[in-house]
Structure 1
Amino acid sequence: METLTPIPILPMFFSMFLSIYLVAYYIVFRNWSPKHRTEASSCLISLAHGTPAVVLATYAIATQSPRGFASPNTSFQNLVLDFSIAYFSMDLVHYLIFFPNDILFMAHHLATLFVFLTCRYMVFHGAFAILVLLVLAEITSACQNTWTLANARRADVPAAAKLYNFLSPPFYAFYSVVRGIAGPLFIYEMGVFYSSGAADAVIPRWIYVSWMVVVVVAISVSMLWISNLWVELYRERTVRMEKKVR
């Protein structure tokens, strides 16, 4: 088995995301309103995590041998897990300070951290499945965060409104395919494997059952969120068409 990634890498990654957040808050978005300033700073660290996480996780999965739902974690996979643990920890701090009433989002981050931490520091197996889920979760990150930033300023910046209107349909479609088709198919494969008991020797049952509960709830909430956005988009387009007719 490969040597585990040294623990100090985790605080290093956390410091990196904290630095990005501070630069975003005090320099990049300093002229934005207080509410949008904090949201935009969170988006920037999400951008710094999302696409790099997809690239790193994809490489970690592709170079793993043997590869499987119960395979031992490689050193590089542990590094990718630490990278994501640091991001979600930093973003959780952001919500605790600025949006302490956003229970749903904080619960999402805590549940995600539970999955990553148990995989990385408790069972040392199963990173293949967790990293595939990470890729599926973060592959839409760049588009989603750009859309979020445009949405935040569309009321007072015409260019932001145009970007928001341009991005909405393709982003919704991309997100729907990833979370509504690819995600559930992979989660089904996970469920079939773990329910067979093939991982019991290396991953305690209560842990992989917890993982399954977390990912099923997460995908369900994601689909509810994107469904509401589709409904809102339809209403906006309908109102716009009615105004043109009048």
Structure 2
Amino acid sequence: MPNALLARLPSRFRGQLIPLTGGLTNRCWKLITAECAYWLREGSADTHALGINRAQELQAHQAAAKVGLAPNIHFALPEQGILLLDWLAEPDWQQVPRDMSRLAQQVAHLHQLNADVPLLDIADQAAHYLRQLQPLPKALADFVPYFSQAGVNLPFQPVLCHHDINAANVMGSRPWLIDWEYAAYGDAAFELAVISDSFGLDLCQQQMLLTAYNRATDSGGGHQVSAARFQARLPWVHWLTALWAALQYQQTTNAEYEKMQQLALTKLKAS
């Protein structure tokens, strides 16, 4: 397998592959060549089911890399999910103290960029998952009517979003943002709600995140996120997480996905 993967890369990138742990749907390696080290990713083949567009991922990553928000791309085969990046000799935020104010500044910077990617309609994304989960278990079906209510669908100005900012996708003190599979235009409030959920922020920490983001956005001429819009997006985060995990469990029967679904539904009930 490693030799077959290396054969798909230009000859100057031939070297030693060291498998990396972590990641739920992709396989990653550290690639060591005679000149330097790289990070190599082979993405999941089931992109349609997961709602991933590899060409769109590449466009967003390139836009972020140009301004130092993401590592440089050295080679890519979007149709095969292959991505070769600078090796970042820094730990991710699962292993180091987190500066959420600095992260908020980076996210505000991201939201002011432009890229040739479409809008992510989270209601369409939920519907895409739901169509694949038929017949729908009652534990999920009970929540479907809730998400058509106006109170959780407030208007917003679309900005370029990462949509999957969690501790594993944030690296170093800069910090760098990696894994742009779900990048698209979207609601900044949803982006911040994803961050809040993935980092387990309490109410005080959520307010600090919003304040830091709005301060950075204001200085850059962007759009503010209200507390009401932020709170309206939190249930959507739990809902999409539950649906994504249910779909993954349906396809793999991996118990970790079942636990993820149950946790997301517990959070959704609480919200």
Q: State TM-score, norm by structure 2.
A: 0.31
More helix per residue: 1 or 2?
A: 1
More strand per residue: 1 or 2?
A: 2
Indicate the structure whose relative CO is greater, using CA pairs within 8 Å and at least 6 residues apart: 1
